[in-house]
Structure formats: C-alpha cells, structure tokens
Structure 1
Amino acid sequence: MYIIRIGSPVAEARLADLSDAEIDILLEIYEVLRMTPGNGRSLGTGNTLVWDYNGLSVIYFILDHQNEVVVLRVDRFPT
C-alpha cells in the first residue's frame, strides 16, 4: 500500500478551493492510488501519471522505493 502526500504548493492551493463533494471524490481517487497507483494514464516517460475521475484530474508521481504517491496537481475538468 502506498502513502499519499501533497508535493507542491499548486496542489495545496487547489485543494483549498474544492467543494465538500469534490473532496469526497478526491478521497475516492486517493483510495485507488493507495492500492494501484501505476494504473493511471502516463504523462510521457517516467513515473508521472494522471488519474481522471468524476470531474477531477490528479497529476501525481510515484516513488516506488518509498511506497509514496506524490500529488503534484489537482484540477477540475468538465463532465
């Protein structure tokens, strides 16, 4: 199981702007990322991926040796 941590000021600022319903969606995304972070869509080469779900998009980086998922950005997208 992976640990989720916020890894950028951009992600922190975006989290503060989310509604309660969006926070609930984000928590669902985090639960999936804790178990299977490698199933996200690749953003080119390396361990940077994106997970789109129910109106939110999370860009993250996987640190396999530390069992961490580092959230770089959280964005809304039209559903």
Structure 2
Amino acid sequence: MYTIRIGSDVAEAQIDGLAHAEVNVLLEIYEVLRLTPDNGRKLSPTGNMYVWDYKGISVTYVLLDPQGEVAVLRVDRFPV
C-alpha cells in the first residue's frame, strides 16, 4: 500500500479551493492510488508521472515506487 502526500504548494492551494463534494471525490481517488497508482494514465513512456481523472477531478502525481509514495503535484477540475 502506498502513502499519499502533497508534493507541491500548487496542489495544496488547489485542494483548499475544492468544494466539499469535490474533496469527497478526491478522497475516492486517493483510495485507488493507495492500492494501484500505476494504473493512472502515464504522461510519458519512460517517466513516473501519471494523471488520474475521475468525476470532474484530475490528479497529476509522481509515483515514487522505491519509497512507496505517491506525490500529488496538481489537482484540477475538469468538466464532466
């Protein structure tokens, strides 16, 4: 199981701006990332950056596999 951490001030500010319902969606995404972070959409074939889109929220993150961590870099809204 992976640990989720906020990896940037940008992500922290974006999370602070989410509505309650959006935070609940983010928590659902976190639960999946804890178990299977490498199932996200990979941003490049050789890197470790991923994006996970779900119910109007998009999370950009770095998978730090040796450390067992997922570092969240951005949390964006997108139209559903």
Question: Is the shorter-chain TM-score for this pair beyond 0.5, marking a shared fold?
Answer: yes
Please name the residue that 2:19 is paired with. Answer: 19
* 1:64 equivalenced with 2:53 (yes/no): no
Question: Structure 2 regions of 5+ residues with no counterpart?
Answer: none
Q: CA RMSD for the aligned pairs?
A: 0.5
1-side partners of 2:76 and 2:16: how far apart?
Answer: 12
Count of aligned pairs: 79
1:8, distance to aligned residue in structure 2 (A): 0.3
Question: Structure 1 regions of 5+ residues with no counterpart?
Answer: none
Q: Identity of counterpart residues, as a percentage?
A: 67
1-side partners of 2:6 and 2:38: how far apart?
Answer: 17
Please name the residue that 1:8 is paired with. Answer: 8
List structure 1 segments (4+ residues) > 2 angstroms apart after TM superposition.
none
Please name the residue that 1:34 is paired with. Answer: 34
Q: TM-score normalized by structure 1?
A: 0.98
1:69, distance to aligned residue in structure 2 (A): 0.2
User: Which residue identity does 1:26 align to in structure 2?
Assistant: L
